[in-house]
């Protein structure tokens, strides 16, 4: 199993009456509540935390893109990734990902990732996402074009990385007389592409077809299992190969403490911050056309609890999160390795507004007590 | 409810659902982002005086989807094809909300095809950052009472026509209707060239607005009337954005008044 330290870089200082006063931590949550002077310290603490993950033995550090919100303050993840290329030596640096349809000019993504890949000596992982529904409100991008823009931008970027330029691109959404990015990426054929998602048939099939690692985000373990089973089945039956554990990633907040009881007690407020506050999306989560009519019909049938209704029991017992003593966490990760055949753990040590000393304890226990046991089992 | 029939047409290759009823001069009714598929009270009132043709636009109601239709112009040409398919030479064209924008652009494009034009709480007029125009899709996302209060003044009419809470079937229908609307309007918000085109309209026109319109404030309605040479601006008391459904009798009287202007 490989271990990736993921940071959302949240804005931790929500007002005490946040839940009563604000419908969302996104889109219209007023930016007067952002304090740039505190921001300086917070950004740099987060960066230090990610740099430290290299010393703790993690395989990579991961960032992602979100706009106009308190949940994750990295509107441009490539900027943070650029800093990490200079402050780390060994680890992979993943952007999971750039939100392709939100950028009107996807060639810029091909260029920026190629720059990062060359500068970092080929350590870049390039995730691609569609962006959340909220961001279609914030950036005035048409959600009904989201999927088609995603696929077209993906095809353009991969071709720009792998085929000699200049060439002409004529697509539905993008046209270029000259596709000819300098620099070209260092890794061959191109930096690894990851696809984070929530397990829709369409995304899982696409990832399996391209053999891209598929990462399930914030979902109960039963749904994760269903998505990985589907990936493995589609890979075998439709595309004729056996999927390996390094194609299946899980993004699960994790907290380790001395005992299960202590871990639950200590982690609860911060997991609640993440699911109840950070992921409070009000009316902005599902703009029209962001999912197809068919996907919406499936969602209505399954009707999972909305994030803000999840209890600590739902989160831990349902497997949205991994919380417990080192032995408990090791056991749960063995389940991922052996029952789900998933070999990429995406986690980290901080969550919501967790104080630095708790983050430090969490990363130390995970890195020294949990990680070695899983590595030894490989 | 008056007599009406439900039929399917092939309009430029798209399976199109049409409701037809009543007797009298031809009247084509173009629905907005919602209020299609059924024979509503405003259709029935109009059918007392007119032969009413109410089609579901592609992407709405019982008509097929046509996802390539992502511009207003596509719906203007569809309307042209619909009139040809129905063999209507000089109908009265009534457009509500988003359908009002289609109707306005149709009348500005084909300046000699209509007997009269009615734009009812119509979409498409440019507004400024200072204008009090809500984010339609965000309010739709909130749903429930807040959405009802944006588009209805008479909440009892809202309650009589919509389930609360909505059924899964309702949610899927709204999602499809809003997706078709978003395909046209999400990032555009309005039709920037509309003020340049409206002065081309030569058809006798009524611009009809609900007095309590909260989606497109009354000033926007007056702007339509100022830009169309032969337009008369009319308010429907006690009604909001859903004026045809909220006050069907008064609404039908306004259309009759428009017809009388044409014959006089």
Question: Which of A283, A290, A291 to substitute to test the interface with B, most B CBs within 10 Å?
Answer: A283
pLDDT of residue A216: 95
DSSP 8-class letter at A278: I
Residue A128 and residue A249: Cα distance in Å, rounded? Answer: 14
Strand extents, DSSP E, A21-122: 60-63, 92-99
Q: Across the interface, do A283 and B186 touch by the CB < 8 Å criterion?
A: no
Closest-CA residue to B40 (of B258, B243, B211): B243
Q: How many CB atoms lie within 10 A of CB A166?
A: 11
Q: Which residues 290-309 in chain A show a CB within 8 A of chain B?
A: 293, 296-297, 300
* Among B137, B171, B186, beta carbon nearest to A300: B171
Mean pLDDT for chain B overall: 97
pLDDT of residue A103: 93
Output the pTM of the full model.
0.96
Please indicate whether, in this complex, the C-beta atoms of A143 and B186 are within 8 angstroms of each other. yes
Please state at what angle helix A107-119 crosses helix A146-162, rounded to 10 degrees. 50
Tens of pLDDT, residue by residue, chain A (378 residues): 999 999 999 999 999 999 999 999 999 999 999 999 999 999 999 999 999 999 999 999 999 999 999 999 999 999 999 999 999 999 999 999 999 999 999 999 999 999 999 999 999 999 999 999 999 999 999 999 999 999 999 999 999 999 999 999 999 999 999 999 999 999 999 999 999 998 888 899 999 999 999 999 999 999 999 999 999 999 999 999 999 999 999 999 999 999 999 999 999 999 999 999 999 999 999 999 999 888 889 888 887 788 989 999 999 999 999 999 999 999 999 999 999 999 999 999 999 999 999 999 999 999 999 999 999 988
> Do residue B175 and residue A141 have CB atoms under 8 angstroms apart?
no
Inspect the interface and report whether the beta carbons of A140 and B187 lie closer than 8 Å: yes
* Cβ separation A282–B183 shorter than 8 A: no
CB contact under 8 A, B182 and A142: yes
**Cβ neighbours of A300 in B, within 8 Å:** 168, 171-172
Decide if the complex's ipTM is over 0.90. Answer: yes
Q: How far is residue B67 from each of residues A296, B16, B115, B176, B181, measured CA to CA in Å?
A: 17, 14, 31, 11, 11
Q: What is the pLDDT of residues B110-149, one digit of tens each?
A: 999 999 999 999 999 999 999 999 999 999 999 999 999 9
Q: Which domains does chain A have, with CATH numbers?
A: 2-253+268-320+339-364 (3.20.20.30)
pLDDT value of position A294: 87
Collapse the DSSP code of A76 into the 3-class scheme (helix H, G, I; strand E, B; otherwise coil) and give the result: coil
Any idea where the domains of chain B sit in the sequence?
Answer: 4-263
Instruction: Write out pLDDT tens, residues B195-249.
Output: 999 999 999 999 999 999 999 999 999 999 999 999 999 999 999 999 999 999 9
Domain B4-263: CATH architecture, name and number where available:
3-Layer(aba) Sandwich (3.40)
Measured between alpha carbons, how far apart are the two ends of chain B, in Å? 31
**What's the whole-number mean pLDDT along residues B65-81?**
97
> What is residue B2's predicted lDDT score, i.e. its pLDDT?
61
């Amino acid at each position: 199993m490989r271990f990736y330290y993921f940071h959302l870089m949240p804005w931790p200082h929500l007002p005490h009456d946040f839940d009563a006063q604000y419908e969302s931590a996104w889109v219209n949550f007023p930016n007067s509540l952002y304090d740039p002077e505190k921001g300086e310290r917070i950004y740099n603490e987060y960066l230090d935390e990610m740099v430290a993950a290299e010393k703790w033995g993690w395989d990579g550090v991961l960032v992602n893109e979100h706009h106009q919100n308190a949940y994750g303050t990295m509107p441009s993840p490539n900027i943070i990734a650029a800093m990490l290329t200079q402050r780390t030596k060994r680890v992979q640096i993943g952007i999971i990902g750039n939100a392709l349809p939100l950028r009107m000019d996807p060639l810029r993504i091909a260029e920026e990732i190629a720059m990062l890949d060359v500068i970092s000596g080929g350590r870049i992982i390039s995730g691609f996402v569609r962006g959340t529904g909220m961001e279609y409100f914030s950036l005035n991008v048409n959600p009904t074009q989201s999927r088609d823009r995603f696929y077209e931008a993906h095809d353009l970027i991969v071709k720009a990385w792998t085929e000699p330029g200049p060439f002409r691109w004529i697509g539905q959404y993008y046209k270029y007389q000259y596709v000819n990015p300098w620099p070209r990426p260092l890794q061959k054929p191109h930096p690894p592409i990851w696809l984070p998602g929530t397990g829709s048939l369409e995304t899982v099939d696409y990832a399996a077809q391209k053999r891209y690692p598929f990462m399930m985000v914030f979902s109960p373990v039963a749904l994760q299992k269903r998505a990985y089973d589907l990936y493995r089945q589609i890979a075998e039956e439709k595309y004729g190969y056996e999927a390996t554990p390094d194609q299946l990633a899980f993004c699960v907040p994790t907290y380790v403490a001395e005992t299960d009881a202590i871990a639950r007690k200590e982690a609860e407020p911060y997991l609640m911050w993440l699911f109840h506050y950070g992921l409070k999306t009000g009316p902005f989560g599902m703009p029209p056309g962001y999912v197809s009519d068919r996907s919406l019909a499936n969602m209505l049938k399954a009707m999972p609890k909305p994030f803000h209704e999840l209890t600590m029991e739902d989160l831990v017992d349902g497997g949205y999160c991994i919380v417990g003593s080192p032995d408990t966490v090791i056991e749960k990760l063995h389940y991922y390795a052996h029952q789900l055949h998933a070999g990429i753990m995406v986690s980290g040590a901080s969550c919501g507004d967790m104080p630095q000393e708790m983050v430090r304890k969490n990363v130390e226990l995970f890195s020294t007590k949990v990680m070695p046991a899983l590595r030894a089992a490989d | 409810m008056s007599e009406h029939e439900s039929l399917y047409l092939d309009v430029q290759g798209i399976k199109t659902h049409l409701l037809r009823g009543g007797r009298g001069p031809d009247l084509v009714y173009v629905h907005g982002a919602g209020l299609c598929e059924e024979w509503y009270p405003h259709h029935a009132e109009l059918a007392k005086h007119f032969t009413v043709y109410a089609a579901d636009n592609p992407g709405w109601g019982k008509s097929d989807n046509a996802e390539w239709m992502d511009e207003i112009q596509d719906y203007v040409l569809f309307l042209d094809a619909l009139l040809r398919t129905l063999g209507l030479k000089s109908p009265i064209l009534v457009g509500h909300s988003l359908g009002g924008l289609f109707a306005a652009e149709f009348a500005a494009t084909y300046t000699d095809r209509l007997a009269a034009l009615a734009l009812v709480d119509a979409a498409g007029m440019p507004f400024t950052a200072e204008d009090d125009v809500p984010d339609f899709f965000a309010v739709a996302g909130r749903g429930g009472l807040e959405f009802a209060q944006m588009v209805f003044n008479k909440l009892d009419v809202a309650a009589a026509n919509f389930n609360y809470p909505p059924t899964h079937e309702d949610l899927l229908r709204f999602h499809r209707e809003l997706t078709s609307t978003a395909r046209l309007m999400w990032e555009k918000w309005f039709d920037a060239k509309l003020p340049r085109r409206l002065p081309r309209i030569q058809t006798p026109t009524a611009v009809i607005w609900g007095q309590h319109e909260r989606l497109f404030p009354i000033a926007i309605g007056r702007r339509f009337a100022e830009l169309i040479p032969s337009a008369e601006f009319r308010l429907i008391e006690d009604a909001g954005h859903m004026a045809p459904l909220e006050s069907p009798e008064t609404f039908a009287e306004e259309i009759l008044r428009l017809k009388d202007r044409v014959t006089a």
